[in-house]
Structure 1
């Protein structure tokens, strides 16, 4: 379902929604629409999709760990309401290959960059990476949606940080594969998330970080 279809569905139900949910969906759909217009600029597409995701779940920002925990809780709540398994299908039917590639890519593994910043010449990060990779691939084999989704989001969060904080060059060949895969995965996850948020039994996500102010 693309942004146009989501906008039409939302138009039919928005008057019955809490203000915060209505604002979240309105904003998220607008950024999804912008992302869909980026056919060639993968960097921009990825960032617009991440903004759409932020618009959907965020309550307040400030600390990275708190934001990542907020994102995990958001997906945990959605998974409990995803009776048709739409998120599971995206992970295991549409993107099994790209997800395995992300799991095995050290450049989207936070501990790799932490070791580099701290000039840690030990193999601790590599040992942990190998262990995490084995656990993640086992979760893929067992189709443990909650675990795999959390791992994928952790990897994509590292990629997001590289772009947002200027840690990558625009249109660089250095990170094309993970950007293409990340944008493709988010391009399916975000519409599915927004559709789930329109259900009558969708979880209450609380107030938005920046409420709409009428002047």
Structure 2
């Protein structure tokens, strides 16, 4: 018997829970979209670029929300606030356990990679001195080690996602060649982290769907006559 993928298991759980838990339409849409892209990522795991793009869209689906009026919040600020929410709701510390068990592998490798550390590129492009990014790079390592010792999951995730966001920008904004050998290691690490982390985030959200205001997702489906 073929083992179900994580995304398929999540989809089954989601279908069962939404009827019992009475999820809102906005929450239903958010989780449905995220799981669909997580499934695509699993199906394209051998294609690191497409897998990463699918994983980032899956992450975007759970955190991004329509803001009221003209209020504008940067991507980094928005997903940092979202991750803080998730960590607060993670009573069983599933995320910290994941970080602890994988730190010596994908996470450590990702954080030690200067090519997805934005200050490196700021220096490379002449915006800052070389000494600045090198000093910041070492400070970040110290902060991450301190956060791990203090079980400060939120801070650890902030550093991880800062690196992932730089990688996301490189790919989405055309700053990388498809299937290039240059960025294989960071893509491999990023995919390993997100494939493990996203299912935990989705499960935490389903468990705590009424405990936070998750907001209105972008571009809800609309019928031909303009109705919802």
Regarding TM over 0.5, the answer is: yes
Contact 2:49/2:179 (8 A) holds in 1: yes
Aligned-pair distance for 1:82? 0.9
**Is it true that 1:211 corresponds to 2:217 in the alignment?**
no
2, 10, 14: which one aligns with 2:6: 2
Contact 1:103/1:136 (8 A) holds in 2: no
SS at structure 1 position matched to 2:179: coil
Per-residue CA deviation, residues 19-76 of structure 1 (Å, 9 max, x unaligned), is 1110000111110111110131011111101100001110149x99711111011111
Contact 2:96/2:153 (8 A) holds in 1: yes
Contact 1:108/1:159 (8 A) holds in 2: yes
Q: TM-score, normalised by structure 1?
A: 0.92
Aligned-CA RMSD value: 2.2
**Is it true that 1:79 corresponds to 2:91 in the alignment?**
no
**Is it true that 1:12 corresponds to 2:16 in the alignment?**
yes
Structure 1 unaligned blocks of 5 or more: none
Flag the 1:106–1:11 CA change in 2: closer, same or farther, 3 A: same
Aligned-pair distance for 1:135? 1.8
Flag the 1:65–1:102 CA change in 2: closer, same or farther, 3 A: farther
**Is it true that 1:142 corresponds to 2:150 in the alignment?**
yes
Looking at structure 2, the residues matched to 160 and 19 of structure 1 have their Cα atoms a distance apart, in angstroms, of: 29
14, 21, 27: which one aligns with 1:21: 27
Looking at structure 2, the residues matched to 107 and 64 of structure 1 have their Cα atoms a distance apart, in angstroms, of: 29
Q: TM-score, normalised by structure 2?
A: 0.87
Looking at structure 1, the residues matched to 87 and 128 of structure 2 have their Cα atoms a distance apart, in angstroms, of: 38
- In structure 2, the partner of 1:51 is 57
Aligned-pair distance for 1:150? 0.7
Alignment of 1:140-179 (within 5 A): 140-179=148-187
Looking at structure 2, the residues matched to 126 and 212 of structure 1 have their Cα atoms a distance apart, in angstroms, of: 47
Deviates more, 1:104-113 or 1:114-123: 114-123
Flag the 1:126–1:190 CA change in 2: closer, same or farther, 3 A: same
Flag the 1:129–1:192 CA change in 2: closer, same or farther, 3 A: same
Q: Which has the larger radius of gyration?
A: 2
